[in-house]
Structure formats: C-alpha cells, structure tokens
Amino acid sequence: MLEIHYLVSKNDSQESVKTYEKAADFIAAQYLEVPDLQDYYIVTNVLLDGKPLQLEEQTISGLFNKLNQ
C-alpha cells in the first residue's frame, strides 16, 4: 500500500492523505489527463508498505519520479 501525506500549498495548514492499493496505481493515476494529485503538491510523508520513503524532491512530481524509475 502507498500512503501519501501532502499539503496543497505552503500556506496550507490541513494535511491531506491519499492511499493507493499499489504504487503502480498511483503511477497510472498520474498519467491521466487530469491526475489525482497535482505535481506541485508538497509531500510531507510517504509510506510504502508501511515503511517511510525518502524523497529527493518533496513534491508529488518527485514521488512520481522516484517510483517510476
């Protein structure tokens, strides 16, 4: 399971959470004409199969690039 904690903007005080059954589901959703999550959303925490995932770029785009290697 992939669990993404994110903020819509730097000024956002409310963290949102989106989960996917598999990382591949997230990748597929981001390829859509209107993706589930915008590339610029700020990622605060990511868990992949219950383990934290370290990102070089703390955005949805950075997460996509990490998982799509």
pLDDT given at position 45:
97
Residue 7 identity (one-letter amino acid) = L
pLDDT given at position 39:
96
Write the DSSP string, 36-63: SS-TTPEEEEEEETTEE---SS-BHHHH
Query: Which CATH class for the 2-67 domain?
Result: alpha beta
pLDDT given at position 20:
98
* Reported pTM: 0.94
Tens-digit pLDDT profile for residues 27-66: 999 999 999 999 999 999 999 999 999 999 999 999 999 9
Give the residue-averaged pLDDT of 5-10: 95
- Regarding predicted confidence, which is higher, 10 or 23? 23
For the chain, which residues make up each domain, given as ranges?
Answer: 2-67
